[in-house]
Structure 1
């Protein structure tokens, strides 16, 4: 019998891939404002006007919390903390008080590291302990949630996954890869930062595969970094995109100042996760996936 899995925020970028991965082996119920993905079982959820029915979630074997306010969302500060921090904490505490025995998956971000310039791959414990300042409320909201899961005494299985930069078809078109691909395809000169920030990239399909592994495993509850394929300077990623698309990079590019330039080096240490799943590796590289954006 298929396990019942609730995906909260089922129309989000990551959630759509999680649903696609799980549908063959799980009975998936989506919670979101709309249901463009056509999930057969769907429950309206549009925080704060349409709230989650917490008691109904007790009937599920797994809950994957993909709802959140991202960096590009332009929402109020209060909304960012409510959706990214307070609501998942309220959910976790409700599940504990009411004897939930399934698994809960939530997400952090390597933006929690903060304004780091040291060339260092942070372990899960080092992310939890980071005292570096954060350039935005998104990073702070995720940091608070991660610290909750570090300290919470929960009686059910939980996996709090720290994400690097995830990418793939369907992501916000203002993010680096789709913006670059479409600018080059239209013969336009993109407006970019200096590109001196180091970032890690992992394809969203690889992340969905890893989430499925956690749900199907007996891995100990806790915080886990999501391993990546590539750790690169942003300007080198830009060059890779031009090279892969057989395009000539303009000599003169307009420069853009961004909030994240103060976070010079963001990288995750994958050791803990790889020890749990030694056979699993992210499979998709940036240059192999660019054609998907034009599909």
Structure 2
């Protein structure tokens, strides 16, 4: 299926990734993006999705329905995580399979490269939900073209980092000039600028990629302790950093290294990128 000359329906357009996706899609010549607004997610979950989905389908026009809506906080209400991360995409898949003309619509879901690590997912409700969602849609038949895109940690843009994530914890400590307690930080992680990932997703879709599951990896990970040390040193707050003062979480993944994805449009130095992001968000050097 050719990916050129397709329009997009974006669900979750105001979120961290959704904001970048909207900008990337709108910047592409000849591509139109429709925003699923007006309580679209709630309508689908409440059983009123038939009309909501039908109103966004355009006869004769190929579409990519990109589901960037999701609960990423593992500490959120488990029922809400299940509803938004698992039940909503499952119902949306079924609705599109029934309502969309054959071959005209593709569904795109977003997940994490860590969702397949069972030990870590068992202690992280977000990762566990993404694993369940992938299993549910994998067993839903072939009524619809579907792609699942697994991401590494995102940074950049104009939004603050989530406070429950590593970057968010660093950000809050630097902003408030408070001590930052962390584990030994030997975990290898990739950090990608959200704009680069949005462009990569658009490139994959416009190129007509057929892979059901892709991982947008650079194969250029950094250890968390090295990232933290460089960031705190730049802001002249190295005395606030306490490496090794906390224990690792259950099932932590340390050494996973991924192959570079052919669909990754670009990658940047994560240290420079995170520092620039924090500066943009008004973190100042002492």
TM-score, length of structure 2 as denominator length: 0.78
Residues 90-149 of structure 1: CA deviation (Å, up to 9, x unaligned): 111221122341222101212323355xxxxxxxxxxxxxxx761132222100112234
- Aligned equivalents of 2:271 and 2:87: distance in 1? 38
1:166 maps to 2:171: no
1:288 paired residue number? 272
Q: 1:148 aligns with which of 121, 136, 160?
A: 136
Q: RMSD across aligned C-alpha pairs, in angstroms? A: 3.0
Which residue does the alignment assign to 2:20?
Answer: 17
How far off is 1:206 after superposition?
Answer: 1.4
For structure 1, the residue ranges without an aligned partner over 5 or more in a row are 32-41, 117-131
Helix, strand or coil for the counterpart of 1:161? strand
2:64 counterpart residue number: 62
Question: In the alignment, is the contact (CA less than 8 A) between 2:217 and 2:259 conserved in 1?
Answer: yes
Deviation of 1:238 (Å): 0.9
Which residue among 232, 238, 256 is the counterpart of 2:228? 238
Give the direction of change, closer, same or farther, for the CA distance of 1:146–1:140 in structure 2 (3 Å limit). same
Deviation at 1:266, TM superposition (A): 6.6
CA distance in structure 2 between the partners assigned to 1:20 and 1:143 by the alignment: 28
Change in 2 beyond 3 A, CA 1:83/1:181: closer
Distance 1:133 1:215, change over 3 A: closer
The DSSP-based 3-state class of the residue aligned with 2:190 is strand
User: Match for residue 284 of structure 2?
Assistant: none
**Corresponding pairs, count:** 263
Separation in structure 1 between the aligned mates of residue 252 and residue 208 of structure 2, nearest angstrom:
35
| Alignment correspondent of 1:39 | none
Aligned to 1:108, which of 108, 111, 118? 111
- Could you say what secondary structure the match of 1:262 adopts? coil
Q: Which 10-residue stretch deviates more, 157-166 or 144-153?
A: 144-153
Q: How far is 1:157 from its partner?
A: 3.1
Equivalent of 1:28 in 23, 26, 33: 33
Q: What TM-score, normalized by structure 1, do the two folds share?
A: 0.76
Deviation per CA, 1:219-239: give whole Å up to 9, x if none: 114011111363232222211
Taking the aligned partners of 2:255 and 2:130, their CA distance within structure 1 comes to 15
1:45-194 matches, cutoff 5 A: 45=40, 47=42, 52=49, 53-59=52-58, 61-71=63-73, 74-100=75-101, 101-114=104-117, 134-169=122-157, 170=159, 171-184=161-174, 186-194=176-184
The farther-off stretch of 189-198 and 247-256 is 247-256
Could you list the structure 1 runs, at least 4 aligned residues long, displaced by more than 6 angstroms after superposition: none
Q: State whether residues 113 and 266 of structure 1, in contact with CA within 8 Å, keep that contact through their aligned partners in structure 2.
A: no
Q: How many Å apart are 1:9 and its aligned residue?
A: 1.4
SS at match of 1:191: strand
Structure 2 portions without partners, runs of 5+: 281-286
Change over 3 Å in CA distance of 1:30–1:187 after alignment to 2? same
8 Å CA contact retained: 1:227, 1:281: no
Is the Cα–Cα contact under 8 Å of residues 161 and 225 in structure 1 kept in the other structure? Answer: yes
Offset of 1:213 from its aligned partner?
0.8
